[in-house]
Amino acid sequence: MISFFVLTLLLIMSYLRFWLGRGTENYYTSKPIYISHRGVTKSNPENTIQAFKEAESLGFHGIEVDIIASKDGVLYCSHNHQLDQETDHFGYIDQMLSGELDNINTGYFSHPNNQQKIPRLCTVIENISDDMIINIEIKFSSYFDLSTAFALRRFLKNNKT
């Protein structure tokens, strides 16, 4: 009976430890952290470089970025898989090649006078300061779609800093 209790306690402790954020020991200890969800979208389309730069200029500590991998594994910042929800194009980001996606503007409905390119994750990282926290939200097209997670893993492995 005691061994069952100890084993159960160890499983619970390991489960709780699994969900701890790695490398976040110093966050949330002295003051709140302000993270801009998809950037500041008052004058710029969400998930664009200008929306993220505006968040930084307004004093946000970090940005939340939605990512989806293209058919050839390039990570794009977009909340929706369907292009017709944010752009004047049709189709799905995960079914298109990066060369096609690089020429599509977002903000067709939300900011018709300020449409901007759908940015690659690498371009966003290059355009914000190193002090900004980046909270990456992986978008999935179905329950078993791990293509974006695998693409992010490759990206992080190849871009160690």
Residues recognised as catalytic: 37, 79
Four-residue CA torsion sign, 95, 98, 100, 106: positive
Q: Which residues of 21-41 are buried (b: 16+ CB within 10 A; e: fewer)?
A: eeeeeeeeeeeeeeebbbbbb
Kindly give, in sequence order, each residue whose CB lies less than 8 Å from that of residue 82, ignoring residues fewer than 6 positions away.
91, 92
Give the H/E segment covering residue 147: helix 147-158
Q: What are phi and psi of 37, to 5 degrees?
A: -75, 110
Contact 137, 121 (CB under 8 A): no
